[in-house]
Amino acid sequence: MTTITKTKTYLNYINGEWIVSESGETAESKNPANKDEVVGLYQLSSSKDFNQAATSARKAQKAWRKLAGNVRGDYLLKAAAILEERIEDIATAMTKEMGKTFAEAKGETARGVAILRYYAGEGMRPVGDVIPSTDSDALMFTTRVPLGVVGVITPWNFPVAIPMWKMAPALIYGNAVVIKPASETAITCAKVIECLHDAGIPAGVINMVTGSGSLIGTEMVNHPEIDAITFTGSNTVGKQLAQTAISRGIKYQLEMGGKNPVIVANDADLDLAVEATISGGLKSSGQKCTATSRVIVQQEVYDQFKEKLLEKVAAITVGDGMEEGTWMGPSASENQLNTVLSAIAKGKSEGANLLFGGEKVEKEGLNGYYVEPTVFENVSSTMTLAREEIFGPVLALMKVKTIEEALELANDSEYGLSASIFTTKISNMLSFINEMDAGLVRINAESAGVELQAPFGGMKQSSSHSREQGQAAKEFYTAIKTVFVK
Ligand SMILES: NC(=O)C1=CN([C@@H]2O[C@H](COP(=O)(O)OP(=O)(O)OC[C@H]3O[C@@H](n4cnc5c(N)ncnc54)[C@H](OP(=O)(O)O)[C@@H]3O)[C@@H](O)[C@H]2O)C=CC1
Ligand SMILES: O=C(O)CCC(=O)C(=O)O
């Protein structure tokens, strides 16, 4: 029997109004913790809906960009206050749509509030430099202008933080936005947009169109009213979008996968390293682009580290993220669960040694896409387990003799998003900082977790080499003008 907890239908948000899509079709957003629970319905939009959103954004951006930065900032501050009031409701939607624990969902929503406040302040900060001209009668300086209408495509794994860290800077620097959220978390996004609407942001400045990624996403990147695209998600989709963006000559920004290593040196605080490996690799069921997946341990401490790790992994409680006491929720969808199970099967068939987990969790009362936290050892750098992003709670242990070997192995990946080392030796720390090819290098801290005021992005195949968040966002969401006055 299907339990329908909320049958509410969520609408597209276009030109300041909540409207039904032209197709009249909807899709169900389901709870991965309980296959029978429908969280709500979202619109399956058409090209016509997208066109209406992009046209409205273009019109609204003209007045929005003319507002003083502090006025735009005031709207973001109002939205932050509303989001803060609705934390419980929005975090509930998030947990029910994609499975992360309620505590994590609340933490992420609070991060959304902080992001809005941070970018609200940007409305009052300097935008350019005065540069001495060779003409002593002239004044030369730089200023920044918005790009116009920014298309935002977001994934399901951080359904508040990622939309927020893309939309808030876009808005404060004077752009209008059309967002196409991941279908899995379309309802969480609608609730976030409601906060922006209730904050009184002028009609058309923000628009949300839900529906198929291939249809709406393709429409977005090809649409003449879209001046820039910012995307977080898989490498395949990211690269397709980039090709179209290049051919249209619009600005683009991609944040994609990771295969993030943790190095545990023989002088490390092992308890700290174990805690961070578990937290970085298994929280949110490993569904973070910054999640730890390769654990490279020096041989002198390998057995001790492994024993401590397995003891803690065995104590992890898997269950519905809304239940108190759950440490790890389900995979976000059946697709995601199948990807994880197939990576585990490949690991076994390629000769890695399964130390823990590896199976679906089939317990009385659980009716979702649950998989055990999983640990492999004897993983070589050529195995799929060491090469492909799994986006699941799977750790691959690799034993090495020296720190040099550890660094070489850590760098042996097409990705370069985040990396950690656990060591007490300054020389190890310095080698790691200098030689690790990753956009985030973390010492004695887990690989996952980013701070909103600092640049975020990867090297190699992990990103388009740009950075998001902090002051770095300004580089993407604005264009520099050099002004010469005489
Ligand atoms: N870097 C990261 O944080 C993330 C990485 N991933 C990686 O990607 C894998 C697959 O996850 P998945 O959710 O399918 O990722 P996708 O890249 O398919 O989805 C991300 C976003 O892109 C949209 N999209 C899908 N197809 C297209 C398209 N052709 N053109 C434009 N937009 C599109 C999606 O919409 P819709 O939801 O409607 O399909 C969603 O909004 C994961 O297993 C993981 O490895 C996934 C999410 C986040
Ligand atoms: O680690 C985080 O907090 C953010 C990671 C992220 O951006 C992602 O997984 O997409």
Flag whether pLDDT at 120 surpasses 80.
yes
- pLDDT tens figures, 249-292: 999 999 999 999 999 999 999 999 999 999 999 999 999 999 99
Please check whether residue 448 lies inside any domain of the structure. Answer: no
**Is residue 457, in this structure, part of any structural domain at all?**
no
Shared domain check, 310 and 408: yes
Report whether pLDDT(473) > 90.
yes
In testing the pocket of ligand 2, which one of 157, 184, 259, 469 has its CB within 8 Å of the most ligand atoms? 157
Query: Going by CA atoms, what residue is nearest to atom 3 of ligand 2?
Result: 449
Verify that 270 and 185 share a domain, yes or no.
no
Range of the domain at 91: 9-256+463-485
Q: Which ligand is located closest to the Cα atom of residue 457?
A: 2
Q: Which of 255, 372, 446, 468 is catalytic?
A: 255
Q: What is the CATH number of the domain that holds 90?
A: 3.40.605.10
**Measured CA angle at 235 (ends 233, 241), to 5 deg:** 80
Q: What is the C-alpha separation between 319 and 369, in angstroms, rounded? A: 10
Per the structure, the count of domains in the chain is 2
* 201 and 145 in a common domain: yes
> Is residue 218's pLDDT more than 50?
yes
Q: Is residue 449 part of a domain?
A: no
**Residues 319, 301: one domain?**
yes
Residues 235 and 272 in one domain: no
Let me know if residue 456 belongs to a domain. no
| 264 and 252 fall within a common domain | no
| Nearest ligand 2 atom, CA 456 | 7
**Sign of the CA dihedral 244, 247, 250, 253?**
positive
Q: How confident is the model at residue 363 (pLDDT cuts 50, 70, 90)?
A: confident
| 234 and 98 within one domain | yes
Residue 4 has pLDDT above 50, yes or no: no
Ligand 1 site, CB within 6 A:
153-157, 180, 182-184, 212-214, 217-218, 232-234, 237, 240-241, 255-257, 289, 339, 389, 391
Q: What is the pLDDT of residue 395?
A: 98
Catalytic status, residue 22: no
| Residue 166 placed within a domain | yes
**Span from the CA of 243 to the centroid of ligand 1 (angstroms):** 16
In a domain, 294, yes or no: yes
Q: Is residue 422 part of a domain?
A: yes
Cα 456 to averaged position of ligand 2 atoms, centre (Å): 9
CATH of the domain at 359: 3.40.309.10
Confidence of residue 7 (pLDDT cuts 50, 70, 90): confident
DSSP per-residue letters across 380-433: -TTSHHHHS---SSEEEEEEESSHHHHHHHHH-SSEESEEEEE-S-HHHHHHHH
Ligand lying closest to the C-alpha of residue 279:
2
Residue 171 lies in a domain: yes
Identify whether residues 106 and 188 lie together within a single domain: yes
Mean pLDDT, residues 119-140: 97
Same-domain check for residues 109 and 160: yes
Residues 207 and 285 both lie in one domain = no
pLDDT (tens digit per residue) in 49-73: 999 999 999 999 999 999 999 999 9
Same domain, 474 and 405: no
> Has residue 474 got a pLDDT over 60?
yes
Q: Whose CA is nearest to atom 1 of ligand 2?
A: 449
Which of these, 464, 405, 54, lies nearest to 223 by C-alpha position?
54
> Is residue 2 predicted with pLDDT exceeding 80?
no
Residue 90 Cα to chain centre, angstroms: 17
Express as a percent the part of the chain with pLDDT over 90.
98
Q: Are residues 98 and 167 in the same domain?
A: yes
* Nearest atom, ligand 2, residue 108 CA: 3
Calculate mean pLDDT across residues 80-103.
Answer: 98
Confirm or reject: Cβ of 157 under 6 Å from ligand 2: yes
Residue 174, pLDDT > 90, answer: yes
The C-alpha atoms of residue 455 and residue 450 are separated, in whole angstroms, by 9
List, for residues 337-356, the tens digit of each pLDDT value.
999 999 999 999 999 999 99
Residue to substitute in 98, 104, 289 for testing ligand 2 pocket (most ligand atoms within 8 angstroms of CB): 289
pLDDT of residue 5: 52
Threshold 0.90, pTM exceeds: yes
